[in-house]
């Protein structure tokens, strides 16, 4: 497909620039020479407030939008606050997508998640498996919100002919991640616990679940490159996957994290805790055909992320346990 290149001088709005994804997208846009990038903190603009979002788009009129803002969390947070994950994310998406459509945004990328796919989807997961089976119960509310966003993008394309697209990243990690005990995903959670255990000299570290589920991990800087690539090379209503095309068991991941931080104690698996989806490896055929591939290997990216986390610990900007 032929898609017009992005203007580096046109106004570009990154929604959620203080998060893991939005922060990486912002860094990449600035490095690529985008000269009119607009951001707002949640304190400056609550994306759940329809009137505030409408006013922002009426005044700023961004030509391009990357919708990376979302309420996110791991298994614990999703299981504890499903209503919040559903309500907050749907409101954010509806407000931004509708306001962008009304006020002249010509290109928009909505970022979802690989959790939108059925729990037992055929592996690797193709984009057309969406809505073909039941979701993973521990994060079904979040998944439904993201599915609604995908369908909203498709509806705006059909009704108004807009060049809005949606992409589904796999599990992400990197600088700017959430390392909190309450809200972290599996990889930053493991980094925090193994580093704390190393510093304390703890003989064991407990890992949730059996260790058998397999997960795929994409460095957030690779995702940021993919976002710009898709805005310049993809124009279709169907969602498109972003990942690396390889996965590994959680037990192997935990050992890799332990080795990376220098923890030499024993790993203990708490099988009373949920495993989540057994596997969700994404099919990379569509995005590879567009000329994009991940460049940062897991070992390299993990080592850099551990270094970043230690810098934040030393600066007192993240919690050690």
Is 186 part of any known ligand binding site? Answer: no
138-193 pLDDT, tens digit each: 889 999 999 999 999 999 999 999 999 999 999 999 999 988 877 678 899 999 99
8-65 pLDDT, tens digit each: 999 999 999 999 999 999 999 999 999 999 999 999 999 999 999 999 999 999 999 9
Q: Which among 153, 170, 171 has a CA at the least distance from the CA of 162?
A: 153
CA distances from 104 to 60, 64, 70, 93 (A): 10, 9, 23, 17
pTM of the complete model beyond 0.85: yes
Question: Would you say residue 319 has pLDDT above 70?
Answer: no
Q: Quick one: DSSP state of residue 277?
A: -
Catalytic (active-site) positions: 142
C-alpha–C-alpha distance, residues 258 and 247, integer Å: 18
Residue 163, SS3 per DSSP: strand
74-102 pLDDT, tens digit each: 777 888 899 999 999 999 999 999 999 99
Is 17 part of any known ligand binding site? Answer: yes
Question: Would you say residue 289 has pLDDT above 80?
Answer: yes
Greater confidence, 276 or 272?
272
Task: Specify the pLDDT at position 237.
Answer: 97
* % of the chain surpassing 70 pLDDT: 98
Dihedral sign (CA 186, 253, 147, 110): positive
Task: Specify the pLDDT at position 284.
Answer: 98
Is 91 part of any known ligand binding site? Answer: no
Q: Residue 144 forms beta bridges with which residues?
A: none
Task: Specify the pLDDT at position 2.
Answer: 60
112-145 pLDDT, tens digit each: 999 999 999 999 999 999 999 999 998 899 999 9
Please report which residue ranges of the chain form alpha helices under DSSP H: 20-31, 50-60, 75-80, 82-102, 140-160, 186-200, 220-233, 250-261, 285-289, 298-315
Superfamily of domain 12-177+217-244+281-296: NAD(P)-binding Rossmann-like Domain (3.40.50.720)
Residues with Cβ within 8 Å of 114's Cβ and at least 6 positions away in sequence, in order, are: 125, 168, 169, 170, 171, 216, 241, 243, 280, 282
């Amino acid at each position: 497909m032929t898609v017009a290149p992005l203007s580096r001088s046109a106004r570009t709005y990154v929604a959620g620039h203080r998060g893991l994804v939005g922060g990486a997208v912002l860094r990449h846009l600035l490095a690529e020479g985008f000269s009119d990038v607009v951001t707002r903190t949640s304190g400056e603009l609550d994306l759940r407030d329809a009137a505030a979002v409408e006013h922002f788009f009426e005044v700023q009129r961004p030509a391009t939008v990357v919708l990376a803002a979302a309420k996110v969390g791991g298994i614990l947070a999703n299981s504890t606050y499903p209503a919040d994950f559903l309500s907050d994310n749907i409101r954010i998406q509806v407000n931004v997508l509708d306001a962008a459509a009304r006020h002249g945004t010509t290109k928009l990328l909505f970022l979802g998640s690989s959790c939108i796919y059925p729990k037992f989807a055929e592996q690797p997961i193709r984009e057309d498996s969406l809505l073909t089976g039941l979701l993973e119960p521990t994060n079904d509310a979040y998944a439904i919100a993201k599915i609604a966003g995908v369908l909203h993008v498709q509806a705006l394309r059909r009704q108004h002919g807009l060049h809005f697209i949606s992409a589904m990243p796999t599990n992400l990690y990197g600088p700017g991640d959430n390392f909190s005990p309450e809200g972290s995903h599996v990889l930053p959670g493991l980094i925090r616990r193994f580093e704390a255990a190393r510093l304390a000299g703890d003989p064991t570290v407990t890992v949730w679940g059996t260790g058998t589920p397999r997960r795929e991990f994409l460095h957030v800087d690779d995702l940021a490159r993919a976002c710009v690539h898709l805005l310049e090379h993809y124009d279709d209503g169907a969602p498109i996957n972003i990942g690396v095309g390889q996965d590994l068991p959680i037990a192997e991941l935990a050992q890799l994290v332990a080795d990376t931080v220098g923890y030499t104690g024993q790993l203990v698996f708490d099988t009373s805790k949920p495993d989540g989806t057994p596997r969700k490896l994404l099919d990379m055929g569509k995005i590879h055909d567009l000329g994009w591939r991940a460049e940062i290997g897991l070992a390299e990216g993990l080592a850099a992320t551990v270094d970043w986390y230690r810098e934040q610990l030393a600066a007192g900007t993240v919690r050690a346990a």
